[in-house]
Structure formats: structure tokens, C-alpha cells
Amino acid sequence: MKTNEYDRQSEQIIQMLTPKIEVKPSADLRSRILAAAEQQKCAEQVKPRRSRLTYWIGTAVSMAAVVAIAFTFSLTSPAYAARKYFSGAIMAASDIKTMVMKLSVRTKPDEPIDYLNPSLDFIPATVKVIYGEPMLWSLEKRDGRNVLCNGDGYVYEWIGGKDGRIGWKKSTNGVVNGDLAAFLDPRLLLEAERRTAERNKGTKYQVIDNGELVVVMAMTTAQGDFSQSDYALNTSLAEANTVRVYSFAKSTGELVQMRIDIVVNDKPITVIQSESIAYNEPMTASDLSNKDLSQIDFQSMNIAVATSSPLVGITADEAAKIILEAMNEWDTEILNAAMGPSKGLLPRMEELYKGIEVLSIGKSFKSGLYPGSFVKCKVVLPNGKKETLTLALRNDNKEKVWLLDGGL
């Protein structure tokens, strides 16, 4: 990896990872976090801290207690020490040729790579990277989503497990999005942290020296607009109040461990944690995935929609109604347009949703950083069960067609 300059795509990723100052969290989120920190501070003034908390890495100390201490002291900690260790780790990454990072992530296997949910159980995920020109990589949720860039000009994505017969492919041009994608090049994640620490606004720090390791904790506030709804809160790292914990080897400066907590109702819940990080292991493009791509029907990510499509020039509410009613009779013309690059999933969706009945369509709303809109819809499923679906719809494509982006 080079460490003295970043190409355009890398700069875009760094910007994506860097917390913005102009955030609009819901009114009481930050005040509740700070109030909890103040309460912890008062408790510490009357009750001496146990010295073993300083050496929590490698011991059996409670993670919740550690984060509580981090909250307390991060309110007044200087950022320059954090910046120093981030800079050192970036320099240490200059000679890295390959990386294999094994993670535990609170997510659903089949959901997109960037989907997180603090209420879910952990599932294993693996990141493999070969640093070069171009960078080759893979992201894999066990028995779930797989994303692969093997150097042939495309990024491939498919669902693993028994249903892994349909996928999507797109040109490698542009930024690789998603929270797990941030770990493809830890240097970029660390650079975003370094710049944030240099600016020292909106993020609080705590640095703990454990002898062989230095632990840097960064507390950030959720990005995005939650003035209409907090529906998207805590569904991604950027859209959450987080405590990010990095462990660096003092002897080399290398990043050896990371953990990210999302703060829910004043309680930190770990959503991503590294189980192992291995550098410079021998690896070729064929080692990135053991999947035979010839066995998958990859759909193009290009969208071709007629200008007369009923999903163009209307509101998100209206689009939700049209799409759900099309599912009732299974109008493939409308549904092909609505699913866009994901239309390969229609056969599976037909099994679950053909014959769905619409009871009501709610008013669309914005939440967080999502570029589209959310619409709550009350329906009767084909099996007779009543359910409320929150559809995610977006029309930020050049055709301005509303695409069904999630919620089923």
C-alpha cells in the first residue's frame, strides 16, 4: 500500500468514512449519551476505579465497564495522541501486500454488506484483499452475501448457501460502498480517523497504554437527518452513535484488533469485532473465493426503463402502491422495472408475495443518510397474515425510476 497519497476513489472512500460536522441527530440522542457519561463520572468520583480496568485487553474485564470508562474520560481527552497512533498505523501499512480479516458482525446473512442490526446475533464474515493495481478483494458473509472483485473488470455479488444461483455484476468503476467495504483497506479507515482527530470536532477520544498494545477509542455521533424519523438510526455505522476501538501493537504500530459498538439507549452494543487480522500471507486471485462463478446467473446492474414507465414522475407513496398492487396480479413488466438489477430475485419473491393485498399506504419519510424514501405499508400476505412492511424506495438513477431497495 502507498501511504503518501490517495487516488480519487480512495479519497471518496475516506470522505465516506469521515464523520461530518453538520449532523442532525434526533433531539435527545446526544444529550442522553452525555448525561450517561456525566452520571458515570460522578460515580467514579465517589468510588475508586479498579486498576485492572487499565489492562482490559487480554483480560476478562467487562467490555461494558471499559466503554463506560471511555465515555467518562473521552469528554476531556486530547485528540493529538489518537492522531499519533493513527498516523503510525498508516505508515506501518505501507508494506502490506495482502490481508485476511475475520470478523463477527451483527447482521442478516442475505442482507446487503452494509446492513447492521444491534438486536441480531453475530455471524462470521471474512475480508480478503490483495493490494496492487488493481486491488483484488472479496467480502463474504458465511452462507450469505458474497462480493468479489477478481480483476476481470467487474464486481460480482451473489447470495451464498443453497440459493446461490443468482447474482449481480457491475463495472468496477466508482466507490465500493458499505460498512464492511471500509475494511478492505484499513489504511483508508485509519486515514479517516486521523483526519477526524486532526479536526477534533464532533468526536471524543480515549487512549489506553497497555504495555504491548495501545488502545484508541473514538466516540462519534450519528450522521444523517433524523428530523422526520429515526427509522434508519443504528442500521449502519455512519447512521449510529458509535464507540470505535482500535488496538495497535506498540512495537510495529500495526492495527491488530478493532471493535465497533453502537450506542442504543445509552448502552454500547458491539456490532463488529475482528477475530483475527493476518497480513502478508501468500494469496492469489483464485484464493479470494472458492465459488465457481459459471454456476451463477449474473444479472447486469444496468437499468433499462421505458420513459412511459408508471414508476417515473410520481411520489414514493404512489410507487409503493403500484409495486404492491403489481405483486397481487404479478405484473412482471412493472416488477422487472421496480427490481432493476435485482430482478433475478423475482421467482423467489413470487413464491412469497404473489397475491399480496394492500390495506393502507403510509406517507413517505426520510431518515438518516438513505438517498431515497421509506414508506410504511399495511398488507395481508398470501398466507393470510397481516403485516406492516417498511419499503425502501429510491430513484437516484439517471432514469429517475423508483426502485424497490428493501423492506420485504
pLDDT of residue 308: 67
Q: Which of 267, 286, 305 is the last residue of a domain?
A: 286
User: What is the domain count for the chain?
Assistant: 2
Give the model's pLDDT for residue 43: 41
Q: Find the distance separating the first CA and the last CA of the chain, reported in whole Å.
A: 40
Bond preceding residue 124 cis, omega within 30 of 0: no
Which three three-digit cell numbers place residue 238? Answer: 455512519
Which CATH number is 320's domain given? 3.10.450
How far apart are alpha carbons 282 and 277 in whole angstroms?
14
pLDDT reported for residue 14: 72
Residue 234 sits in the same domain as residue 160: yes
Domain region containing 367? 316-406
Q: Is residue 279 located within the same domain as residue 324?
A: no
- Do 230 and 320 have their domain in common? no
Same domain, residue pair 233 and 326: no
On whether residue 320 sits in a domain, the answer given is yes
CB atoms within 10 A of CB 246: 24
Query: What was the pLDDT predicted at 302?
Result: 59
Whether 390 is covered by a domain: the verdict is: yes
- Digit-by-digit pLDDT tens for the chain (408 residues) are 444 567 766 776 677 667 654 333 343 444 444 444 444 444 434 333 333 222 233 333 333 333 433 444 444 445 788 888 999 999 988 889 999 999 999 998 888 777 888 899 999 999 999 988 888 999 999 888 899 999 888 888 888 765 567 788 887 754 566 677 778 888 888 888 888 887 766 678 889 998 899 999 988 888 888 999 999 888 887 888 889 999 999 999 999 999 999 998 889 999 999 999 999 999 999 999 988 888 888 877 655 555 568 999 999 999 999 999 999 999 988 998 898 877 777 887 888 899 999 999 999 999 998 899 999 999 999 999 999 999 999 998 888 889 998 888
Taking the C-alpha atoms of residue 116 and residue 224, their distance in angstroms, rounded to an integer, is 16
Together in a domain, 111 and 170? yes
* Integer Cα distance of 385 and 66 in angstroms: 44
249 and 321 together in one domain: no
